[in-house]
């Protein structure tokens, strides 16, 4: 007798294909003990009718479970739970009691309470998501990515996927970065001077761990990328905040005793200011006077659709003083979590040893898939497609902002994917953001970017990477209406 078909149902909020959901549903029933070994499953016809899906979907799910030894087929009799299926735990699971550990005393270092804000998880369901750093799935070539992943999974590349690189990286990926990605930024580097990281944030963390101690001083821009400030705060180094101007970080403001300088010269985060060539040279001269190391975060350089970007600060470095941070998170997709560090070999050697001690290396399958995506031309095609879409969205947003009477505090010279905005004095954009979420609008308050205890609250960031051009004017109109309805001094 088959298990009652009524005991099977699909979770309406589940992710993935119907076939994958059915597989998960049955596997969980086996693992929980509700379907013991030898139990007969409902026929594909009955289960498909009960779930309201096609019979072929159920058949494919059963077949996949059979391939994984969860199910077995007995001729015309149907499908049964395999005798080799995983067994549920033989011991009884007991409810936990209350913790008796004093965690305030037991925790040696606190990592919570930083300034990095959370973003609404349901932002993709919102109609007007002016959210930064997220990819638009309609621009990404899913078919090309799938083909690259399948190629990386093929027999030829099986050893590269399966092997333990220890502290090394996929040579195809590092070679392509050295020969094709870095020369576009004016940088020449050998593979030994490149380290693959789990995104730019991991690269920044590695740099802080290798370069800084509690006795050393790091200089950062103010405002700056809030996660960088959290990383440096956790390193317990001395932290100096340097206010930026219209050209980015002013070198003459760097105090004596500075050991490491963190900067975003090509596209200052978040003001979008671009550092002119003369100031870049002055920054390198000041770093030489201080005998300091410069960490250059070159995020968003691929989004230069208005005109070619300036060469990276690293390209002007003749002393090995600049460490370059790059990432594929903005150009491919943020969930990829793949970036890279470029620096002199002694630094990369230490960063490589630290990475190896913490996580060995980023997954070989991901590295090889990205290597194919880059080398087969899909990456360049994607950048052109994104650049065209962003150019249109920027023009539409620029006009909508002008029509709505809002104030732009900064916009990228070469392109980028966001505007840095300033609301009238007295407007707290944190409250504004909360009110706008009720209208399906997502903006990013600017206060977390500032390092002061009492930061200015009237700045905010509007990105156009995740919103279609057709929705931008209405979204900007809703923002303008919300600002007008917020009590303020009226001074812009």
Q: pLDDT per residue over 425-446, tens digit each? A: 999 999 999 999 999 999 999 9
On the question of pLDDT at 492 being above 50, the answer is no
Greatest mean pLDDT range, 226-235, 285-294, 478-487: 285-294
Give me the pLDDT at residue 93, please: 59
On the question of pLDDT at 267 being above 60, the answer is yes
User: Quick check: helix, strand or coil at residue 262?
Assistant: strand
The token pair at 13 is 């909020």
Instruction: Give Cα 299 distance to the centre of its chain.
Output: 11
At a CB cut-off of 8 Å and minimum separation 6, what does 455 contact?
A: 223, 446, 447, 448, 449
On the question of pLDDT at 160 being above 90, the answer is no
| pLDDT mean over 363-370 | 90
Look at the pTM and tell me if it is higher than 0.85: no
Write out the H or E segment, with its range, that includes residue 293.
strand 293-297
Q: Can you tell me the distance from the alpha carbon of 168 to that of 330, in angstroms, rounded to the nearest whole number? A: 24
DSSP track, 9-34 = ---TT--S-HHHHHHHHHHHHHHTTS
On the question of pLDDT at 161 being above 80, the answer is no
On the question of pLDDT at 136 being above 90, the answer is no
Of 78-87, 151-160, 213-222, 324-333, the poorest mean pLDDT is in 151-160
Give me the pLDDT at residue 490, please: 54
Give me the pLDDT at residue 92, please: 64
Nearest to 439 by CA among 478, 487, 485: 478
Of 90-99, 113-122, 305-314, the poorest mean pLDDT is in 90-99
Q: Can you tell me the distance from the alpha carbon of 188 to that of 320, in angstroms, rounded to the nearest whole number? A: 11
| Bigger pLDDT: 376 vs 310 | 376
Nearest to 204 by CA among 237, 228, 187, 223: 228
Q: Given pLDDT bands bounded at 50, 70 and 90, which one contains residue 90?
A: low
| Bigger pLDDT: 472 vs 140 | 472
The token pair at 10 is 């699909």
| pLDDT mean over 192-220 | 95
Measured in Å, how far apart are the chain's first and last C-alpha atoms?
75
């Amino acid at each position: 007798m088959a298990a009652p078909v009524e005991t099977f149902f699909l979770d309406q909020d589940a992710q993935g294909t119907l076939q994958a959901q059915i597989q998960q549903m049955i596997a969980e029933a086996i693992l929980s003990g509700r379907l013991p070994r030898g139990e007969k499953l409902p026929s594909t016809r009955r289960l498909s009718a009960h779930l309201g899906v096609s019979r072929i979907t159920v058949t494919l799910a059963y077949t996949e479970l059979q391939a994984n030894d969860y199910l077995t087929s007995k001729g015309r009799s149907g499908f049964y739970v395999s005798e080799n299926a995983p067994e549920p735990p033989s011991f009884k699971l007991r409810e936990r009691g209350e913790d008796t550990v004093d965690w305030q005393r037991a925790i040696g270092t606190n990592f919570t309470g930083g300034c990095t804000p959370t973003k609404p998880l349901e932002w993709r369901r919102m109609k007007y998501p002016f959210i930064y750093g997220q990819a638009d799935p309609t621009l990404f070539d899913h078919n090309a990515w799938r083909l690259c992943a399948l190629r990386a999974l093929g027999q030829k590349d099986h050893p590269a996927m399966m092997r333990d690189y220890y502290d090394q990286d996929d040579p195809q990926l590092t070679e392509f970065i050295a020969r094709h990605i870095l020369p576009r930024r004016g940088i020449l580097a050998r593979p030994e001077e490149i380290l693959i990281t789990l995104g730019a944030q991991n690269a920044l963390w590695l740099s802080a761990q290798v370069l800084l101690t509690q006795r050393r001083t790091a200089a950062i821009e103010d405002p700056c990328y809030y996660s960088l400030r959290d990383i440096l705060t956790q390193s317990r180094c001395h932290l100096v905040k340097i206010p930026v101007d219209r050209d980015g970080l002013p070198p003459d403001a760097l105090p004596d005793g500075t050991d490491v300088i963190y900067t975003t010269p090509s596209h200052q985060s978040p003001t979008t200011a671009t550092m002119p060539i003369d100031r870049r040279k002055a920054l390198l001269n000041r770093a030489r006077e201080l005998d300091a190391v410069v960490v250059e975060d070159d995020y968003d350089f691929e989004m230069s659709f208005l005109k070619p970007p300036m060469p990276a600060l690293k390209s002007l470095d003749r002393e090995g003083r600049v460490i370059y941070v790059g990432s594929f998170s903005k150009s491919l997709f943020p969930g990829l979590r793949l970036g890279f560090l470029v620096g002199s070999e002694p630094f990369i050697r230490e960063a490589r040893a630290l990475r190896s001690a913490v996580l060995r290396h980023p997954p070989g399958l991901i590295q090889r898939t990205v290597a194919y995506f880059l080398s087969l031309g899909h990456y360049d095609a994607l950048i052109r497609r994104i650049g065209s879409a962003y150019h249109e969205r920027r023009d539409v947003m620029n006009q909508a902002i002008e029509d709505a009477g809002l104030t732009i505090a900064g916009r990228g010279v070469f392109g980028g994917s966001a505007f840095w905005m300033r609301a009238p004095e007295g407007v707290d954009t944190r409250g504004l953001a909360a009110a706008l979420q009720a209208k399906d609008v997502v903006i990013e308050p600017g206060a977390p970017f500032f390092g002061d205890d009492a930061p200015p609250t009237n700045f905010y960031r509007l990105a156009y990477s995740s919103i279609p051009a057709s929705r931008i004017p209405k979204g900007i109109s809703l923002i303008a209406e919300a600002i007008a309805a917020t009590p303020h001094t009226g001074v812009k």
